[in-house]
Amino acid sequence: MIQALAYLARQGRQVLLAGLVLGVLAGLALPDLAGTLQKLVAPVVVILLFLAVLRLGPEGVRAGLAGWRAGVLSVLALQLLLPCLAVGVLLVLQVEAIWAFGLVLVLAAAPISGSPNLAIMSGASAPTALRQLVMGTLLLPATALPVFLLMPGLGAPAEVFVIVLRLLAVIAAVGALGLWLRASGLVTASARSLSVIDGCATLLLALIVIALMGAVGPALVQGVQGWGLLLGVLVLGFGLQMVTLLAAYGRMPDEQAAALGQVAGNRNIAFFLGVLPPALASDLMLFIGLYQIPMYLTPAVMGWVYARKGLRLG
C-alpha cells in the first residue's frame, strides 16, 4: 500500500489527468456514479485540507503566514474588486446568461481546499497557497456579501455568512489536528511520510473530479454549446493564473508568485451551491464540472509555463 501511494505521489500530474478522463467517461457510461460520489465531496475536501497542513507542519504554516499583509491585499483584489467589476460590466450590458453567474461566483470564491496540494505537485509555494486559502475563507463573508447584494438572483447573503462560519470551524479543527500530529512527533517529515501524504492527496483529488464532472461528458457529446463553455472556462481559469503570475513576478520569490497565480485561478465555486436558489444551482452544475478541467490541468499546464519562463521553484 505504501509503495502504491508513493507511486501515485510521483505520478501526481498523470493521475489528475486520468481523473479528468474518467470523470468525462463516467458521465456517459455511469451517469449515477457521479451522483453517488458527490456525497463524498465534502468530507474528502476536509481530508485534503488536513493532509496539506499535516505535510507542511508548524514550520511550513508559520512561513506562509509571515506574509499575511500581502495575503490580505491579494484577497481583497481577487475576491472583492474583481467580482464587483465583473458585476458592474454585466449589469451595464444586461447579461443574465448562466455563464455570467458562473463567472461572478468564480471571482467571488475563495481558493479551493486542494490549493496547497496542487502547489506541491507543480513546485509552487504550498505555504503561500495555504495562507491564501485560510485568509480567503476568513474574509469571505466580507468579500462575498457585497457581490451577492450587487448581483440579483444569487440568493440570500446572510446564508453565505453562516456557511463560512461553519467552514472556518472545520479549518480550525483539522488544522489544529494536523499541527498537533506533527508537533508531537506522531507524524514526521521523513521522505516516506511525505510520499504517503502526497499519494493520498493525489488519489482524493482524482476522486473529487470524477464526482463533479457527471454533466460534462453528455454536454460535450450533445453539441457545440458544451465545447464553447469549456473554452470559456479554460480562458477564465488559466487567464486568471497567467495575469496574476505576471503581476506578481519579480515582486516576490518565484514559487510564491506561482502559488498566488494558482489560487487566483482555482476557486471553490462549488462552495456556493448550498446558498444559491435550487434552479440556479442545478443549471450551474455543468459550469462547475467544466471548471474542474483547468483546475486539474494546472500542475501540467502551469508547470510547463513555469519552465518556459525560467521560474525558480522548489
Whether residue 25 has pLDDT greater than 80:
no
Whether residue 256 has pLDDT greater than 80:
yes
CB-CB contact of 53 with 178 (8 Å): yes
Question: What local confidence, expressed as pLDDT, does residue 27 receive?
Answer: 67
Whether residue 12 has pLDDT greater than 70:
no
Q: Which of 2-11, 233-242, 286-295 has the highest mean pLDDT?
A: 233-242
Q: Which residue has the higher pLDDT, 8 or 135?
A: 135
Whether residue 17 has pLDDT greater than 80:
no
Q: List Cα–Cα distances, 117 to 38, 101, 169, 243, 314, in angstroms.
A: 20, 28, 21, 22, 14
Tens of pLDDT, residue by residue over 40-62, are: 777 777 787 788 788 878 887 77
Question: What local confidence, expressed as pLDDT, does residue 136 receive?
Answer: 86
Mean pLDDT, residues 136-155: 81
Confidence of residue 171 (pLDDT cuts 50, 70, 90): confident
Whether residue 245 has pLDDT greater than 90:
yes
Tens of pLDDT, residue by residue over 108-142, are: 998 988 888 888 888 888 889 988 988 888 888 88
**What's the predicted TM-score (pTM) here?**
0.82
| Cβ neighbours of residue 143 closer than 8 Å, sequence gap 6 or more | 75, 76, 79, 80, 83, 108
**Amino acid at site 116:** P
Indicate the average pLDDT of the chain: 82
Mean pLDDT, residues 271-283: 75
Mean pLDDT, residues 152-159: 70
Q: Which of 68-72, 148-152, 273-277 has the highest mean pLDDT?
A: 68-72
Q: Which CATH architecture has domain 2-308?
A: Up-down Bundle (1.20)
The four Cα atoms 154, 158, 161, 165 give a dihedral, to 10 degrees, of -130
